[in-house]
Amino acid sequence: MYRLRVCTKLAAKDPRKTLNCLSSLQSLRSKHSLPFATVDVDSLSGSQPAEVQNLVQGNWTKSSKWNTLVDPLNGEPFIKVSEIDEGGIQPFVDSLSKCPKHGLHNPFKAPERYLLYGDITTKAAHMLSLPEVSDFFTRLIQRVAPKSYQQAHGEVYVTQKFLENFCGDQVRFLARSFAVPGNHLGQQSHGFRWPYGPVAIITPFNFPLEIPVLQLMGALYMGNKPVLKVDSKVCIVMEQMLRLLHECGLPMEDVDFINSDGSTMNKLLLEGKPRMTLFTGSSRVADLLAVDLKGRIKLEDAGFDWKILGPDVQEVDYVAWVCDQDAYACSGQKCSAQSMLFMHENWSQSSLVKQLGNLAARRKLEDLTIGPVLTVTTERMLEHLRKLLKIPGSKLLFGGEALANHKIPSVYGAIKPTAVFVPLDEILKDGNYELVTTEIFGPFQIVTEYKDNQLAMVLDAVERMHAHLTAAVVSNDVLFLQEVIGSTVNGTTYAGLRARTTGAPQNHWFGPAGDPRGAGIGTPEAIKLVWSCHREVIYDIGPMPTNWKLPAST
């Protein structure tokens, strides 16, 4: 049915593609239909569990320790992950140590590898564009990080478009240098983008394909040798993607892939001494790693992301829909999810809040428009709700109940999309602010209201937040936009009537601002910032000045 749905969608856009799509799907009778795949998504179950291996020094390996994952929708054990413990990290340490600080390639060394990666990317982009491959990854994502088919497919689509952006010569263009005339004939200074050499990448569960692929490819493009760790709950997705990349020509020894717990990975980082580590995940862990790694780290950490609705009320239906998507798509498990909504009082007088409740009520477990929360339990979310409702003037707008009639394991969360109204003046009180701005990585948001003369209070509230990832200013009032944007810092900020906080494509920078450790993703600027450093080479070849004489000491 899933595969037929893909063909049906294609037919709606271009009937000529239907026969080709159906023809290609006829061959998908087993997991071997895809040359890289070692998993059959259809049969993945307790009776036929999948296995996830490690990759080190060019070889797929198994360990003696296996971590069994349960299906987040029914609790059935369905994936076995071969995990490395602290005693098994030496091959990974050795692999990192074999990579020199100047990398596997750079502008002066093995430049043909820029061309190699252009070719690999071209083939991988084509592979992901095939309906059967796109559908495979979409449904595999759904199995381990349940979200709607549309949301999971969007992740695959963005990844495929990113790869398209770096085909052919685009990889070597990332290493473009510049020259500045010197002080005399024969002298020129040249600026080059230089790799770090051995690096590490740590990525979370919520985007099991998009985040690791975009960061991994950026690291490889610039000449680094990465060891990649993806959250074990979803690591099967990236394991299959690595096998696809190998099918497209990625040298087996260029990337190491490790499955482990956090303490083992921390030990690997301390002993392997990567020159740079990219971490995407919680702010708490990020700060600990920054200390352990002595600052050799780039972070795309959590964000308590906000949206401000300006005084100009228009297109209420559209704005309500975007707010619902921003807060509750993927069950709110996006680092860019809308955590707090500041409404101008003009919006409070519209049908916005009522529409938000109606849109949230449409979400259901059957189509995964609401689903399991993988890092916060139901009781933890409901306890947070109870604490918020003790604040004077606060009230439950909608939600606030556990989902019913499901088999989601109790280690995960399952609640209805929830919104809590808290008065602005109460939010700003020292006793409340930390509680109100606690990030609940699930379908949970704070809503508040402000008047014209309270905009400074709104700006104070967002100034006091510690993470500045995404934000939205929903207004077409140019002066209002200028004031808000000029007084805030979020690294990816959408402005205008159609502004959102989530759904970043591959064509613009996505990442935090206001932190020198901040990492971006997706664009040439992000790749160069995160995965290379600046090196200056000054050529000074002469000729010597005529009649040069030895000067006096200075």
Indicate if 335 belongs to the active site: yes
Indicate if 21 belongs to the active site: no
Nearest to 385 by CA among 405, 399, 370: 399
Checking DSSP bridges between strand 50-52 and strand 59-61, what pairing results, if any?
A: unpaired
173: left (phi over 0), alpha (psi -120 to 50) or beta: alpha
* d(C-alpha 196, C-alpha 309), whole Å: 43
For 272-284, give one letter per residue: b (16+ CB within 10 A) or e.
bebbbbbbbbbee
* d(C-alpha 370, C-alpha 334), whole Å: 13
* d(C-alpha 377, C-alpha 217), whole Å: 34
Contact assessment for residue 267 and residue 273, using Cβ atoms and an 8 Å cutoff: no
- Whose tokens are 């040798």? That residue is 225
* d(C-alpha 551, C-alpha 554), whole Å: 9
- Residue 446: strand pairing partners: 340, 420
User: Residues 41, 367, 522, 500: what is their CA dihedral angle, to the nearest 10 degrees?
Assistant: 180
Measured at the CA of 313, the angle between CA 312 and CA 316, to 5 degrees, comes to 150
* d(C-alpha 338, C-alpha 445), whole Å: 7
Cis peptide before 274 (omega within 30 of 0): no
From the list 83, 323, 335, 439, the catalytic residue is 335
From the list 132, 300, 439, 449, the catalytic residue is 300
**Residue 60: enclosing H or E segment and its boundaries?**
strand 59-61
* d(C-alpha 363, C-alpha 369), whole Å: 5
Angle between helices 455-463 and 478-486 (to 10 degrees): 30
* d(C-alpha 455, C-alpha 484), whole Å: 9
Sorted by sequence, the CB contacts under 8 Å of residue 260 that are 6+ apart come out as 83, 84, 85, 89, 229, 232, 268
List of long-range contacts for 27-32, beta carbons under 8 Å, 24+ apart? 27/132, 28/3, 28/132
Question: Which sequence positions are flagged as catalytic?
Answer: 300, 335
